[in-house]
Amino acid sequence: MIKNYGLFWRRDSVHWNYGGGRADEPGHLKGVRNVERQALVVDFREQAGIYCLYDDNFRLLYVGQAGFGNATLFGRLKIHTQKNLAERWTKFSWFGLKGYEATESSVSHLRNAKFKKMEISEVLNSLEGILIVGAEPPLNRQGPKFGTAEKFSQYFDGDNVYPPITEMVQEIYDHTVPDEEE
């Protein structure tokens, strides 16, 4: 049921593109997984599934779902950066229902979710796993049982999330070197 997931990704490391970038760059929600010594990057922007929002202390604040109509994972999370929860959460975990297509390009894309007839044990293991990872109950010692689901780490996109290093160095230099007229 769960095809892939990401745990405790940082909100401030997501490329939201609030209008500062080009219009054809809608932002992204990229994750990376090391496969046979190569980094596999997947954009989970269009993912459907369950997500959890946390504060700085990893306290669970909110649980939501994405996947109905145009409500993608990226879209739902972006809404939470602008609405009543905006100042409260700093991290998120997600549990996706869509697999991905590995491609020759640098970023793989998601495919539509198709569900086979599942055993009740698979459904229960997936639901239990989401709750164990999402809520981190102190008496649960076992981890999630997601079967063949793949864990993705957050992709670091220094070009879109943070200013380029050269711009940062120039800005520091400009603020520390006195003008010649002084």
User: What is the arithmetic mean of pLDDT over 87-102?
Assistant: 91
Give me the torsion for CA of 25, 13, 95, 115, rounded to 10°: 20
| pLDDT tens per residue across span 6-55 | 999 999 999 888 765 555 567 889 999 876 667 888 999 999 999 999 99
* Percent of the chain surpassing pLDDT 90: 34
| pLDDT tens per residue across span 152-174 | 989 887 766 655 556 656 667 67
Residue 135 has a pLDDT of 87
Print burial letters for 93-110: b (CB count within 10 Å at least 16), e (below 16).
bbbbbbbbeeeeeeebeb
Residue 67 has a pLDDT of 87
Q: What is the pTM of this model?
A: 0.77
For residue 153, count other CB atoms closer than 10 A to its CB: 14
